[in-house]
């Protein structure tokens, strides 16, 4: 039997007919069913029957101000996502946004008049994608699988890795940055996971939960047409598990994700602890199509000498200690450039990471690394903000000067 496709619904509340017409046109472009109201009282009479998914609300209405209307919507337990708009200053918009959040409403963001179509779409499109996910049988199943992780304080942010050389079709790569918040408020960062989890016997359980959340984010993004590559850190303790390749293969299949989109990165502190078993596990993971990245521990000499023996596809050079120009810096540039040249000839990519200073950024560009990651390239983003950056076209442009933080 043929299904009827139901469009998401937008309620526009503004007393300016020109603004209503403009937003109606934008809504049509987003395939939204829209209704407009020029008075707050009319909007309230519409909501129960229309059941909007999104409300765009002007703060200054003839019969009621925006804060009053937000209070009423909160009392009605309105489940629509709300976008505030006004010609007033940003501080006013942000303060009203905070009022809505405090009242447990879903506040998508703010729009400052005059508005641009791109700004409106950047707020609405990711939310529409999340609504579509609920109707997508694969993603809805994955959400149910992933629900439990939220209760254990697991969180994922993503650091974009930007191609340093021009490319006609740059591929977006994201390094997952997981953290674990405990009941007492302490936050455990990624490289400390092993120390926390090993004594408790939960190394594999914790990694599986992180991987499920990462694959869930990938599935959610793909619904919106965004298909990046991702990298996740692995410890030597985890690589002792000979069942790891089978676990990863099963999860990738369950989430319908190609293995070559996922890279596993060895922690810097573990790179010298690769015994025969861990090297076997790494080789089996590569046979399944996953890529392996190893951190360079020194100036690159050790990596160069072992380049033919390590079962890896990528090197990651840590430039976090790079500050002012020095003689050692010049020597590093020569050694890193040599590593990059030799590795590329052997089809091994070299990434520069921890680029947290302008000097490190300059050094990375001089060495012509394949890709760059760090605060001077782009700050870590939530899964939601990653999608916003995609919609704003930031990942479609490989020019670094457009990606540096403001």
Q: What mean pLDDT is predicted for residues 334-360? A: 83
The top-scoring range by mean pLDDT among 99-108, 207-216, 330-339 is 207-216
Per-chain mean pLDDT for the chain:
79
- In angstroms, the CA 308 to CA 314 distance is 12
Provide the token pair at 317. Answer: 């050079």
CATH topology for 9-135 is: Rossmann fold (3.40.50)
Contact residues for 317 (Cβ-Cβ < 8 A; gap 6+): 295, 296, 300, 336, 339, 350, 351, 352, 353, 367, 369
Domain spans in the chain, listed from the N-terminal domain onward: 9-135, 138-402
Residue 308 has pLDDT above 80, yes or no: no
State the pLDDT at residue 132: 63
Residue 200 has pLDDT above 90, yes or no: no
* 220 vs 326, residue with greater confidence: 220
355: closest CA among 340, 376, 339, 337? 376
- In angstroms, the CA 28 to CA 34 distance is 8
Q: Which range is least confidently modeled, 6-20, 134-148, 294-308, 332-346?
A: 134-148
State the pLDDT at residue 304: 72
Residue 86 has pLDDT above 80, yes or no: yes
320: closest CA among 288, 367, 353, 280? 353
> How far apart, in Å, are the Cα atoms of 357 and each of 238, 334, 371?
32, 19, 16
Contact residues for 371 (Cβ-Cβ < 8 A; gap 6+): 161, 162, 163, 164, 173, 349, 351, 352
Task: Please tell me the CATH code under which domain 138-402 is placed.
Answer: 3.20.20.450
The top-scoring range by mean pLDDT among 122-136, 180-194, 262-276, 389-403 is 262-276
State the pLDDT at residue 5: 46
Q: Which range is least confidently modeled, 84-88, 123-127, 149-153?
A: 149-153
Element (H, E) at 384: helix 383-391
| Ramachandran assignment for 402, one of left (phi > 0), alpha (psi -120 to 50 degrees), beta (any other) | alpha
State the pLDDT at residue 399: 41
């Amino acid at each position: 039997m043929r299904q009827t496709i139901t469009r998401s619904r937008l309620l526009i509340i503004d007393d300016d007919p020109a603004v209503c017409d403009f937003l109606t046109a934008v809504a049509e472009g987003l395939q939204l069913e829209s209704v407009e109201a020029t008075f707050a009282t009319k909007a309230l009479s519409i909501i129960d029957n229309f059941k909007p998914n999104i409300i765009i609300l002007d703060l200054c209405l003839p019969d009621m101000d925006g804060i009053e209307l937000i209070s009423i919507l909160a009392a009605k337990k309105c489940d629509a996502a709300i976008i505030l708009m006004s010609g007033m200053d940003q501080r006013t918009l942000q303060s009203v946004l905070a009022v809505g959040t405090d009242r447990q409403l879903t506040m998508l963001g703010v729009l400052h008049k005059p508005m641009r179509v791109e700004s409106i779409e950047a707020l609405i499109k990711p939310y529409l994608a999340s609504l579509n996910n609920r109707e997508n049988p694969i993603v809805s199943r994955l959400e149910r699988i992933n629900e439990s992780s939220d209760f254990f304080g697991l969180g994922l942010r993503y650091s974009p890795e930007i191609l340093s050389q021009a490319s006609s079709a740059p591929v977006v790569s994201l390094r997952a940055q997981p953290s674990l918040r405990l009941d007492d408020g302490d936050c455990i960062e990624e490289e400390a996971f092993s120390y926390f989890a090993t004594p408790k016997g939960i190394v594999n359980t914790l990694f599986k939960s992180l991987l499920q959340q990462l694959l869930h984010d990938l599935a959610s993004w793909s619904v919106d047409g965004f298909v990046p590559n991702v990298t996740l850190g692995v410890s030597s303790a985890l690589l002792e598990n000979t069942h790891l390749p089978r676990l990863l293969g099963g999860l990738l299949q369950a989430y319908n994700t190609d293995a070559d989109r996922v890279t596993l990165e060895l922690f810097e502190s573990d790179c010298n602890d690769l015994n025969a078993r861990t090297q076997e596990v790494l080789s089996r993971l590569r046979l399944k199509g996953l890529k392996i990245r190893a951190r360079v521990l020194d100036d690159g000499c050790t990596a160069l000498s072992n380049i033919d023996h390590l079962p890896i596809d990528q090197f990651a050079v840590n430039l976090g200690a790079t500050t002012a120009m020095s003689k050692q810096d010049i020597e590093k540039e020569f050694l890193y450039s040599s590593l990059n040249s030799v590795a590329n000839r052997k089809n091994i990519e070299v990434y520069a990471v921890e680029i947290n200073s302008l000097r490190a950024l300059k050094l990375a560009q001089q060495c012509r690394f394949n890709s760059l990651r760090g605060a001077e390239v782009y700050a870590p983003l939530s899964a939601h903000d990653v999608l916003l950056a995609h919609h704003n076209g930031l990942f479609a442009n490989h020019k670094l000067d457009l990606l540096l933080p403001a």
